[in-house]
Amino acid sequence: MKKTFPILGVLTALFLAYAFYQALWVAPTEQTMGNVQRIFYYHVPSAIIGFMLFFINFGASIFYLIKRNPAADMVALVTAEVGVVFLTVNLVTGPIWARPVWGIWWTWDMRLTSTLVLWLIYVSYLFLRRFSSSGETPLLAAALAVLGALCVPFVYFSIWFFRTQHPQPVMGGGGSIDPRMLHVLLINWLAFSCFAFLVCWARYRLEQLQREVDTAYAMESLRDPRRSA
Amino acid sequence: MSAPTGITRVTLLKDLRLEWRSKDAINSMLFFSLLVVVVFAFSFDPTAEESRQIAGGLVWVAFLFAAVVALNQTWAREIRNQVLDAYRVSPAPANSLFIAKVLGNFIFVSVLEALMTPLFIMFYRLRALGPAWQLALVAALGTWALVVNGTFFAAMSLRTRSREIMLPLLLFPFSSPALIAMVQATTAILNGEGAHFWIVLLATYDLVFTTVCLLLFETVLNAE
Amino acid sequence: MIIANPYLFAAYAATWIIHIGYLTTIVRRYARLKREVEEMRKAGVRS
């Protein structure tokens, strides 16, 4: 493990650099928006990866509820945190893209509003994890994650009916996408997915170490109450 | 009568009786709602036409804050008297306790809404252009959504740091779909449009979340 | 080209600032924990 991580890190960095080059130089320039449209290659994969991670969080939480496996709890924590990071990127690049294209920083349209609400849901999940007393955190968090995942379709339906201003999604339905752009999008998605995997792995290792240290402290204070932790 | 419904009934009646005697929750909720309404009145001075556009949001924000006041004290009595520990040890199904608490909160908040509605109508010169009976339905479904989630999150927050802030912190994002539905439905009905989609969405939301909260409550109660 | 368009630059920069920022917090916490483990080992704490 010690060897593979740095190797994968270097490979991922190279992949990301290649994806960066593809996005900025190889992808064709969009007709109406110009070069600003290239934000698309960072904005969309962030959202997709965020949702992928939340999906894994849902699976890990269900697994924890059934099996009470501590590793599943750690996977849930890690995927939620990294998912929030990716969604944050999406929510920051969105307005930066919107401003030159539509003239406004923010609008309560379907896509942006849904993403914001989901971001709020998973941030509140992270707050629960931080504030709850450590004995019960895994179970409570798992229950909350299930509720959160169930909320997702409702968030989409309610906001879809609430408003629509975002242009037709370029992927799957609505406007068609230039296949060269699709190609670059896929490359960036794959590169960032590898990156997300490595970040999750690193965060998982950190959590593992943290829990080992906490356990060691706890054991020590049990053995010798006079020792201050 | 089967044990679960018996427990629900007993717990619910106990809560209602205690509340009737002290009127703690209802008084603080009422006053808080009134304060919110008045503060809003300082910020908006709408014409009747404008009122109809914004009243939906204002009304539900006021009810939401009031509901949080009620929800925060849901389990307070139980904690003070170690009732929850006794409950965990007993063979009684946790769901009965949960349903009793949800029903109790539902009644408290509904009473509050009934008392506040004439005030809102008066302050904002409201008149429903659409079918008014639908407003009652929206109120019932919306209140249930807030209360079922809120009671569940209140139970989750019991042993967290900053318990009082944890409840709204969880409740607001998770109830967003229901909140959007309540507000949009109310606005639609006030303006003479139908709210069928929103009512169906609220009913579905209530069904799904009540079921899941019931399924997960035992786990949450016994977590540790 | 990326420098010429300030919004494009800002978006890509923001993305990497956020990601590097998060990674930095992980690395820092990890280093701090490693130091703690060393101190524990010196103090004779059995893990």
pLDDT digits (tens, 9 = 90+) for C1-47: 566 789 999 999 999 999 999 999 999 999 999 999 998 888 876 55
Q: What is the pLDDT of residue C43?
A: 82
DSSP structural state of residue B47:
-
Report the range out of A89-93, A221-225, B131-135 with the highest average pLDDT. Answer: A89-93
Q: Is the pLDDT of residue A177 over 80?
A: no
DSSP structural state of residue A34:
B
**Closest residue to C26, CB basis, from A34, A202, A220:** A202
Task: Tell me what the pLDDT averaged over chain A comes to.
Answer: 88
Task: Tell me what the pLDDT averaged over chain B comes to.
Answer: 86
Task: Give per-residue pLDDT as tens, B167-187.
Answer: 999 999 999 999 999 999 998
> For residue B189, what are the CA distances in angstroms to A45, A192, B102?
40, 46, 27
Which residue, A216, A85, A215, A57, is CA-closest to A148? A57
Alpha-carbon span B68 to B165, nearest angstrom: 10
Q: What is the pTM of this model?
A: 0.90
Name which of A35-39, B16-20, B46-50, B213-217 the model is least confident about: B46-50
Q: What is the pLDDT of residue B162?
A: 84
Q: What is the pLDDT of residue A169?
A: 40
Name every residue whose Cβ is closer than 8 Å to that of residue B205 and which is 6 or more positions away in sequence. A154, B145, B177, B178, B181
Mean pLDDT in residue range A72-80: 97
Mutate to test the interface with C, among A29, A88, A227 (most CBs of C within 10 A): A88
Alpha-carbon span B109 to B139, nearest angstrom: 10
Alpha-carbon span B216 to A144, nearest angstrom: 9
What is the distance, to the nearest Å, from the Cα of residue B42 to the centroid of all Cα atoms in its chain? 26
**Closest residue to C18, CB basis, from A36, A38, A89:** A89
Task: Give per-residue pLDDT as tens, A13-62.
Answer: 999 999 999 999 888 888 888 888 899 999 999 999 999 999 999 999 99
Q: What is the pLDDT of residue B211?
A: 96
Closest residue in C to A46 (Cα–Cα): C15
Which residue, A162, A167, A48, is CA-closest to A101? A167
Instruction: Let me know: does A5 contact A206? Beta carbons within 8 Å.
Output: no
Q: Say whether residue A100 is in contact with chain C using an 8 A CB cutoff.
A: yes
The predicted complex's ipTM stands at 0.90
Report the range out of A86-90, B56-60, B164-168 with the highest average pLDDT. Answer: A86-90
Are C7 and A203 in contact (CB < 8 Å)?
Answer: no
Task: Give per-residue pLDDT as tens, B93-120.
Answer: 888 889 999 999 999 999 999 998 888 8
Token digits of residue A91:
């929510």
- DSSP per-residue codes, B53-80: HHHHHHHHHHHHHHHHHHHHTTTHHHHH
- The CA-based dihedral angle spanning residues B169, B170, B171, B172, taken in that order and rounded to the nearest 10 degrees: 60
Cα of first residue to Cα of last residue in chain B, in angstroms, is 33
Are C29 and A97 in contact (CB < 8 Å)?
Answer: no
- DSSP per-residue codes, A138-170: HHHHHHHHHHHHHHHHHHHHHHHHH---SPPPS
Alpha-carbon span A59 to A42, nearest angstrom: 26
